Amino acid sequence: MNGKALVPIVLVVLVILTLAPGPILAAESKKQDAPGDFDARLAEEVRLHDAGQYDAAIAGLQEEPAHPGSWRALGVALQMAGQRARAFVAFARFLTLEPDSQRSPAAASSLWNLLFEGVKSTPKEEGGKPGDVSITVPPPKEGDDPATAEGLTISMVAASRYLEEWKDKSDAQFFAHAFDEVLAILTELDDSAKTKDPFWSVVALPYYRNAREAGHLEAMAYSVRRSLKDPDTLRWLADHAEAVDHYRAWSEAWKPAAPATGQ
């Protein structure tokens, strides 16, 4: 992460363990761009998550990684499962593919909500001091489950919103910063993982890793919130139209790397 600390903030943080969310609800997945059998199969595979068959749903998503409805459905399922960080990745990827549809504002709002879920600053009136932030996270699950570590790290990024240095900055500016930090942390965690996930390590995270290498993350961060019509976001996009065009061209051409052979 270019020499930066994994979580480059100093805060007084209270971490609270709470009960994990309940069962996942079935997520609809209506493809806006073109109808087809893939949508019905995807919706069915996402519903299989309720029965503990998450791998079956991911297998269907691997078939067509540039399908916007796939990423949206995955984001919904992961959000309901309490996997905030991966839901953030999925919704963001949906918005890179479908930034201005009727479905986009809800997904764009989810990015902010996922970022700040369980993060609360105590107001001065209630005796809070600058940098006093509470973070509520689900208890860790048994086994090798990255969701807890991933969720806590993005909570720490969100908590930096309450630092003095961000007091006079807009939400749009902070989101662009947080977007960069969250994806840097998640890709770094993936790089250091002993076991690579065949979907997240090969399809999901490489898109953002490559975008960083190409210098497109800032344009991406503002573009995924375009549908919210936030004045600061729209102003940045207008002022950096050339950078946005380059990012879009790069994104449309991006494809996951072919699996290694002969190993």
Across 45-60, average pLDDT: 53
Give the Cα separation of 226 and 233 in Å (integer): 7
pLDDT tens-digit series, residues 99-117: 999 999 999 999 999 999 9
Across 218-247, average pLDDT: 98
Give the Cα separation of 90 and 74 in Å (integer): 6
Residue 3 gets the label, from left (phi > 0), alpha (psi -120 to 50) or beta, of left
% pLDDT > 90, the chain: 45
Length of the chain in terms of residues written: 263
Where helices occur in 104-230 by DSSP H, the ranges are 104-116, 147-159, 171-192, 205-213, 217-223
CB 222 within 8 A of CB 236: yes
Does 132 have pLDDT greater than 70? yes
Q: Supply the pLDDT for residue 41.
A: 58
b or e along 56-68 (b: 16 or more beta carbons within 10 Å of the residue's beta carbon)? ebbebbeeebebb
Across 218-231, average pLDDT: 98
Residue with tokens 């949906």: 94
b or e along 119-155 (b: 16 or more beta carbons within 10 Å of the residue's beta carbon)? bbbeeeeeebeebbbbbebbeeeeeeebbbebbbbbb
Between 12 and 25, residue with greater pLDDT: 12
- pTM for the whole thing? 0.78
CB 101 within 8 A of CB 32: yes
Nearest to 94 by CA among 57, 122, 67, 68: 68
Give the Cα separation of 168 and 96 in Å (integer): 28
Residue 37 pLDDT grade (very low, low, confident, very high; cuts 50, 70, 90): low
